[in-house]
Structure 1
Amino acid sequence: MTEKRKGARSIKDIPKDILEQLNRGEIETVNLTEWLAVDQKLLLENFLIQNNRKEYIESVVKDVSNLKKQTVNTVNEAIGGGLFNAVVHNNDEAFFSVVSRHTSDLVRCWGTYMVVRNDALPLQEKLEKIQQFAADRHFGVREICWMAVRSGIAENLDESLSILSEWTVHEDEYVRRFASESTRPRGVWCAHIERLKQTPELGLVILEPMKSDPSKYVQDSVGNWLNDASKSCPEFVAEICEKWSRESPTKETEYIVRKALRTIQKT
């Protein structure tokens, strides 16, 4: 299990046998260092050979090779998109379940892009399929899945907010956190959502139900959401925080408000 093994602090310190297991997809990464160290093309080849899809390798690797800039995230997206194309071309939809349930966290990350690349799916169905990745036990899969679908959320913002507002009361803290993190006005490593920067009140359908959420993971995301908004609409955020502090005098709300106001209080 992931939590029983501590990862190395630098790539050069990763034991050879651990790196080999990671590249064969036999174990998950346990930290960002290992995540960055995995050779995704090698992992892809091993994964497809292990699952009798060797004929997919050439076309997917070609997609990766055509990238102008190869980073962990761009390679991840290219492989996911390439696998989706291979699945469609070979009428092999059942293979998605193999990808989405694989031991390797990076393989499961590819699955998020297989969902997003399917333009035949309406947004509601895409988000339903993404939810299993939002609830994933691995930090990397949880981050990649919201980044994968974020552009679709931004392009269909009203519908997305309506759908995700229902996720805010989900029993799984990871699913609740997805609703907030995927809609942050500024976000991290992603394009901004201009409508939410200028009219952050639209996001209250997501934020209000979680203003005193028991999970610190969710609290951090809600606080960061409002901190994003404070850089464009500080008065709005100040008013919401004052309202929440009055209506919900809990330690959870207090923590969220403190995170939300950190940029305002610096100025």
Structure 2
Amino acid sequence: MADLETLRARKGAVRRSEVPSNVVTALNRGELESVNLVEFLVIDHVKLFKAVRPALSLADADAKKIALAIKRLSSEGVMQRLVATGAAFHETLEDSESREKVYQELTEHPSDVVRNWAAYMDAADANLTFSKRLQRARKFATDSNMGVREIAWMCVRFPAADAIVNDIERLYSFAKHKNYLARRFAIEVSRPCGVWCKHIPALKQRPEIAEELLSHCREDSEKYVQDSVANWLNDASKTRPDFVQDLCDRWRSENDSPHTKRITHRALRTLRKKA
């Protein structure tokens, strides 16, 4: 097999059939993280768990239970597998003294899929407060892997959509964080429509709830954050065009920053098409 450092510098394949066999092997061993969705989809979760299991502080009985759950999920879609695998870890280890140790081992693993299992352990834990969810999600929200960053906000949004509306001020510290990945997380987790997830009706009908949150990032210099703010507003423009138009007009009148101009221009793209 090629040196792992050489493989880490690779460009991802365009089609699953084009992923080199040595890359597939390394992904299934948990030695590499995926670099794009194509690679993410070729990973065999059964093989991956078997490969990483020796590095986890799991009792044999617990490992067998989780392995069986993962095997049963083989025919499911990748998102269903991630959700259910995280739940299997949580349910198996809920009363175990090793739960947090295993969780930490998952969060620090080289494989992005394994780190996603940890994120979905938190999603499955109904006892976590919204504040605690955000605290634990920070690690995933600022992960170097784009796929893990996407999973980070999904794993908060799915079990705590109501809290995002009712306690949105808890996201302000993320929106003002020095790490732009944390700022992007604050916006993405609260999008009215979101991506690959259920909508939040309250934010579709009353986007004013998030105005202060959005304002923290209206002059953000990072394109990654700008796009997220613009997409948030574009989502809202489909149900509350009045709010989005008025907000964008006000932002532009109050600030001539090129960053604000770019955000508002992109935010109004659906309204421009309708016009």
User: Normalized against structure 2, the TM-score is what?
Assistant: 0.91
2:45–2:70 Cα contact (<8 Å) kept: no
* Gaps in structure 1 of 5+ consecutive residues: none
Aligned to 1:85: 91
Q: Secondary structure at the match of 1:91?
A: coil
Q: Return the offset for 1:64.
A: 4.1
Q: Return the offset for 1:68.
A: 11
Aligned to 2:43: 38
Indicate the larger mover: 112-121 or 136-145: 112-121
Indicate the larger mover: 38-47 or 216-225: 38-47
2:220–2:259 Cα contact (<8 Å) kept: yes
Check if 1:146 corresponds to 2:153.
yes
Within 5 A, what are the aligned runs for 1:171-250?
Answer: 171-250=178-257
Matched AA of 1:261: L
2:8–2:32 Cα contact (<8 Å) kept: no
Within 5 A, what are the aligned runs for 1:1-267?
Answer: 4-51=9-56, 53=58, 54-64=60-70, 70-92=76-98, 93-267=100-274
Matched AA of 1:4: A
Cα deviations by residue, 1:98-132 (Å, 9 ceiling, x for unpaired): 00011001100111111222222211011101111
Instruction: Give the Cα–Cα distance (whole angstroms) in 2 for the partners of residues 18 and 69 of structure 1.
Output: 22
**Are the structure 2 counterparts of residues 258 and 31 from structure 1 closer, same or farther at C-alpha, using a change threshold of 3 Å?**
same
* Gaps in structure 2 of 5+ consecutive residues: none
Cα deviations by residue, 1:1-24 (Å, 9 ceiling, x for unpaired): 687221111111111111011001
**Are the structure 2 counterparts of residues 69 and 263 from structure 1 closer, same or farther at C-alpha, using a change threshold of 3 Å?**
farther
Indicate the larger mover: 202-211 or 115-124: 115-124
Count of matched residue pairs = 267
Instruction: Give the Cα–Cα distance (whole angstroms) in 2 for the partners of residues 254 and 72 of structure 1.
Output: 38
Indicate the larger mover: 200-209 or 159-168: 159-168
Q: Return the offset for 1:60.
A: 2.1
Percent identity, aligned pairs only?
36
1:81–1:114 Cα contact (<8 Å) kept: yes
2:119–2:152 Cα contact (<8 Å) kept: yes
User: Normalized against structure 1, the TM-score is what?
Assistant: 0.94
Indicate the larger mover: 114-123 or 128-137: 114-123
Instruction: Give the Cα–Cα distance (whole angstroms) in 1 for the partners of residues 57 and 136 of structure 2.
Output: 25
Q: Return the offset for 1:32.
A: 1.0
Instruction: Give the Cα–Cα distance (whole angstroms) in 2 for the partners of residues 51 and 153 of structure 1.
Output: 29
Instruction: Give the Cα–Cα distance (whole angstroms) in 1 for the partners of residues 8 and 200 of structure 2.
Output: 35
Q: Secondary structure at the match of 1:120?
A: coil
Give the CA RMSD over aligned residues: 1.8
